[in-house]
Chain A
């Protein structure tokens, strides 16, 4: 179109190099999945086969890991959004601006402090004699410590915590874009604040919620470090399975087939969520 842009497209070239490297890497790995495992030191040998896929899809324990990864990620994403909505509301709408700034600061510092830090901290916090359990038992809420570690609860808590900044950042934009006069109209027509929130604000927020859901769900699916540290081998998500097949079983083709199945089911489930989301949005509006 513009003269200046006729040549500016060539500026993409260095990135194109990276892009082709990515394509080759993913492509080669996917190719690997169609071959039998090779002897030590090699990646694969022999003629193409679908055996690896039968191994991934055929075993009940593999299916269990796949479905628990998808299901837990979805549940965790919903919880994350429920926690994030009040935060976003307060950040955008708190009368005192410092309140919002303080929460943003907390999010930024948490976000930048990194995953390993947070995983480690939860590992200590959630232990049988950790701060959480001490608080719960000392205050008499529970008699015996709750086991958080090495089961889904600890993994879920830490992943929720990891996702929270992403969810809040995305929701802030959605809350900001709400037209407050619609809510004011509802109030003037006699709706209480609570009714206005559920009947007016939430439906208007729905598209933003759905975008956030898809985002945090896709991040949750990729969880690796949190189940590895807090799941202690008992809670395994697909990323951990891929890692084990690579470094414990040294079976690269099997790992590759697992990864391909993982990606396909991840994209399919994300597509399904977006599809249902659109249906819900349509039904509401």
Chain B
């Protein structure tokens, strides 16, 4: 299938209110042409509301939805030209796979022979040609997902919306389909919005991830930046960072702050100046903490090992500094030094991945 002419999407001051409850508040977002942006967040954060407003199933309270610069927020859903893969796929149960895929073309009055050709191509693209005559109830979950995808892209939409597209599948199947979905999206070059609560899925598929909380975007970043340097406590917790420490600023300069961690000072690079004495929060992933001998000369925190577990590829250490609990991981390879429970060690925090969280 040829590459689609891809569009840009901009959300401006997008707001959705239910009575007094603001499900989405003043949301601004730019999705560059051809990229896949994920709205990630827990249920109730407003991500589905945003998606349904883009699709046209929810009225916008205020704000604009610009596709290629044109506001579509008042356009009926059937005139928006946006493809969507629904949660649970929403295939038409009374139509064959082929008729499902052809439906959008039929609505657009595409000529019969062209319809047949495009349906054939779309089914070939998702490797479903051999099941064209089946009904949705005769398909497995993964097969239904492919049909839903074919049905959404066959109309050559300006945007592709993916609402938890892999949520109903079991883990094994999901991983296979993730890579297919990603390849297909890249190959078609179609601007896409994915909604999910699964961070692994988001990290794997996305060009950009917007983490949402309470109707707002908490952080918009590339997957790697988001994983390594979550900017707020909410994002850090949502992405499963166990080490989030409350601390106080001991010294501050234009490029770094010194904070106290269990009574010991640590330097954290940051460009947001902080007043000395103010409280702050620090986040660092266990894999960014090196467990070293206590006599190691590098800057670090001296701690006592409380437990050590060898888990698959990692060795997980739970350590204590004063009343602070710190988790650190080391690769479980033969060259790694093993530390025993009760041993005093130095925890070396990688400065590039130690983050002073925004308030």
Contacts and interface: CB of A to CB of B under 8 A. Distances in A.
A binds B: yes
Interface in B52-105: 56-59, 76-77
Contacts of B56: 3
Interface in B11-64: 56-59
Interface residues on B, range: under 10
Majority SS at the chain A contact face: helix
Interface in B309-329: none
A1 interface: yes
A2 B48 CA distance: 13
Nearest to B75: A3
A137 to B, nearest CB: 58
Interface in A87-123: none
A1 to B, nearest CB: 7
Nearest to A6: B59
Instruction: Indicate the member of A1, A2, A3, A6 with the most B CB atoms within 10 Å.
Output: A3
A1 B56 CA distance: 11
A172 to B, nearest CB: 24
A229 B268 CA distance: 93
A2 to B, nearest CB: 5
Nearest to B18: A1
B263 to A, nearest CB: 53
Contacts of B58: 1-3
Interface in B136-184: none
Interface in A6-25: 6
Contacts of A4: 57, 77
Contacts of B76: 3
A82 B95 CA distance: 46
Contacts of B59: 3, 6
B202 to A, nearest CB: 26
Nearest to B56: A3
Nearest to B76: A3
A60 B63 CA distance: 72
Contacts of A2: 57-58
B84 to A, nearest CB: 14
B79 to A, nearest CB: 11
Interface string A220-242: 00000000000000000000000
A3 B57 CA distance: 5
A189 to B, nearest CB: 35
A29 B188 CA distance: 69
A126 B313 CA distance: 82
B345 to A, nearest CB: 48
A5 to B, nearest CB: 10
Contacts of B57: 2-4
A282 to B, nearest CB: 32
Contacts of A3: 56-59, 76-77
A4 B59 CA distance: 10
A6 to B, nearest CB: 8
B50 to A, nearest CB: 15
A1 B58 CA distance: 6
A241 B115 CA distance: 69
A140 to B, nearest CB: 59
A4 B57 CA distance: 7
A4 B76 CA distance: 9
B53 to A, nearest CB: 10
Interface in A232-258: none
A3 B59 CA distance: 6
Nearest to A2: B57
Nearest to A5: B57
Given A2-B58, A3-B58, A4-B57, 9 more contacts: A1-B58, A2-B57, A3-B56, A3-B57, A3-B59, A3-B76, A3-B77, A4-B77, A6-B59
5 contacts: A2-B58, A3-B56, A3-B76, A3-B77, A4-B77
List 6 tightest A-B contacts by C-beta distance, closest first.
A2-B57, A3-B57, A3-B56, A3-B77, A3-B59, A2-B58
